[in-house]
Structure 1
Amino acid sequence: MKVQIEIDCTPEEARTFMGLPDVGKANDVYVDALTKAMKGVSNPDQLQQYAKQLAPMGQLGLKMFQSFVEGAANSSSGGKPAKGD
């Protein structure tokens, strides 16, 4: 038996329903800091240095996010690897 539920809501409504925090203000601060830092970039080495300083947890953060997305994809497909894996 298959049951399909479609929910029509805004991202804010979904976030509130799931109990996730509103990170809009933190995101605005992060984007503002990144924008200010990028104004002084004149070569690729400087860009890489700024990215390392500003990125939360750097490469580790990207790997954690990737594993989170893969886990979500696997759980939604019933534990089977997502297509393309």
Structure 2
Amino acid sequence: MKITVNVECTPEEARRFLGLPDVQPLQDAVMQQMQDRVMSSMHAMDPETLLKTWAPMGLQNFEQIQKFFFSQFPGGGGNGNGDKKK
């Protein structure tokens, strides 16, 4: 024997009928906090801020690598120790 019961109700009505807690206020609060955190960290994702943060170190490192590279070759501006030839 098979019995089928169809119940038409909204999710809110089913939650109340089953005695489940209403988590909507908690979900709203968590979502608001997440939104606030994302919005506050957006300034760190600004391209201008990223370039200001990365560019100075990147250019200095590039210049150091370039000097080291050229100092390894004869006539490249150094004797391999970073000292220039006279």
TM score, norm. by length of structure 1? 0.45
Q: Which has the higher relative contact order, 1 or 2, with Cα contacts under 8 A spaced 6 or more apart?
A: 1
TM score, norm. by length of structure 2? 0.45
Structure number with greater Rg is: 2
